[in-house]
Structure 1
Amino acid sequence: MQKERLRAISVHLLTATGAIFSMLAIIAAANQSWEVMYLWLVVAFAVDGIDGPLARRYDVKKYAGEIDGVLLDLIIDYLTYVFIPAYALYQSGLLPGWWGWFGVLLIAFASSIYFADTRMKTADKSFSGFPGCWNMVVLVFFAVDPAPLTMVTMIALLTIAMFVPLKFIHPVRTKRWRKLSLPMAGVWVLLALWATLTKFNLPGPAEVLLILVSLYLLFVGIAQQIIPQREPATA
Structure 2
Amino acid sequence: MKHVRKAALGVHLLTATGAVLAMLAMLAAVQEEWTAMFLWLVIAFVVDGVDGPLARKYQVHTHAPQIDGVLMDLIIDYLTYVFIPAYALFSTDLLPGWTGWVVILVITYTSVIYFADTRMKTGDNSFSGFPGCWNMVVLVLFALSPPPAVIVPLVVVLAVLMFLPVKFIHPVRTARWRAVSLPVALVWTLLAVWSAWSGFDMAGWGRVLFVATTLYLLSAGAVQQLVPARRSR
Q: Which residue of 1 aligns with 2:208?
A: 208
Q: Which residue of 2 aligns with 1:23?
A: 23
1:181 and 1:222 mapped to 2: Cα distance?
14
Q: Which residue of 1 aligns with 2:223?
A: 223
Q: Which residue of 1 aligns with 2:103?
A: 103
Q: Which residue of 2 aligns with 1:174?
A: 174
Equivalent residue runs for 1:15-94 within 5 Å:
15-94=15-94
Identity %: 59
Deviations 1:19-68 (A, max 9, x none): 01000000000110001000000000000001000000000000001111
Q: Which residue of 1 aligns with 2:162?
A: 162
1:80 and 1:93 mapped to 2: Cα distance?
21
Measure how far apart 1:85 and its partner are: 0.2
2:4 and 2:51 mapped to 1: Cα distance?
16
Q: How many residues of Structure 1 are paired with residues of Structure 2 in the alignment?
A: 233
Q: Matched residue of 2:118: which SS? A: coil
Q: Which residue of 2 aligns with 1:188?
A: 188
1:95 and 1:46 mapped to 2: Cα distance?
28
Measure how far apart 1:93 and its partner are: 2.1
Q: Which residue of 2 aligns with 1:137?
A: 137
Q: Which residue of 1 aligns with 2:152?
A: 152
Q: Quote the RMSD (CA, aligned, Å).
A: 0.8
Which runs of no fewer than 5 residues in structure 1 stay unpaired?
none
Contact 2:94 2:147 (C-alpha < 8 Å) held by counterparts: no
Amino acid at match of 2:161: A
Q: Which residue of 1 aligns with 2:115?
A: 115
Measure how far apart 1:204 and its partner are: 1.1
| TM-score between both structures, scaled by the size of structure 1 | 0.98
2:15 and 2:120 mapped to 1: Cα distance?
20
1:130 and 1:139 mapped to 2: Cα distance?
16
Amino acid at match of 1:20: V
| TM-score between both structures, scaled by the size of structure 2 | 0.99
Q: Which segments of structure 1 move beyond 2 Å, counting only runs of 4 or more?
A: none
2:80 and 2:216 mapped to 1: Cα distance?
22
2:135 and 2:95 mapped to 1: Cα distance?
15
